[in-house]
Amino acid sequence: MTREEFIKELEYQGYTYKEEGNKIIITKESRVLYLDSIKDLPSNVVFMNSSTVYLTDLKTLPEGIMFSNIGEVWLNSLQTIPKGIVFSNSRGVYLRSLIGGWFNMWEGNIKGIGSNRLLNKMIELELFDR
């Protein structure tokens, strides 16, 4: 999906955003983001909305995607997570195709280490980039 197509979809859905340099930042004024029908994203999108993000049909993420939303991230169909993707959202990340469910409930988590911190380290080590 091109940057222009993505912006058009945001506007159609009534989601607020701003552009800063090469980034599209979805702002806190937007609550739950239902973007289930989107098959791919442009690079450099920052999710800062005040609730959950549903991107259930995405198979992969392009570079520069950051989840800083206040809520969950649903990525049901994701097959890969390339280096450079950041999860700093305040709730769980649902990765059905990759690990079978919620990352924060995954049996590989390490007690005392935040699940998003572990997920980001695994992404940095390219463990999800097949």
pLDDT tens for each residue of 64-102: 999 999 999 999 999 999 999 999 999 999 999 999 999
**C-alpha to C-alpha distance for 39 and 27, rounded to whole angstroms:** 22
Q: Is residue 129 part of a domain?
A: no
Per-residue pLDDT at 129? 83
Q: Which residues have a Cβ under 8 Å from the Cβ of 36 and sit 6 or more positions away?
A: 54, 55, 56, 57
Q: Is residue 130 part of a domain?
A: no
Structural domain that includes position 70: 3-124
Q: How many beta carbons lie within 10 A of that of residue 65, not counting itself?
A: 21
Q: Is residue 79 part of a domain?
A: yes
Q: Which residues of 67-105 are buried (b: 16+ CB within 10 A; e: fewer)?
A: bbbebbbbbbbbeebbebbbbebeebbbbeebbeebbbe
Q: Is residue 99 part of a domain?
A: yes
Which tens digits make up the pLDDT trace of 42-64?
Answer: 999 999 999 999 999 999 999 99
Per-residue pLDDT at 55? 97
**DSSP code at position 90:** S
Number of folded domains in the chain?
1
Judge whether 17 and 26 are in contact, CB under 8 Å.
Answer: yes
Q: Is residue 58 part of a domain?
A: yes
Q: Which residues have a Cβ under 8 Å from the Cβ of 91 and sit 6 or more positions away?
A: 52, 70, 71, 72, 73
- Whether 130 has a pLDDT exceeding 70, the answer reads no
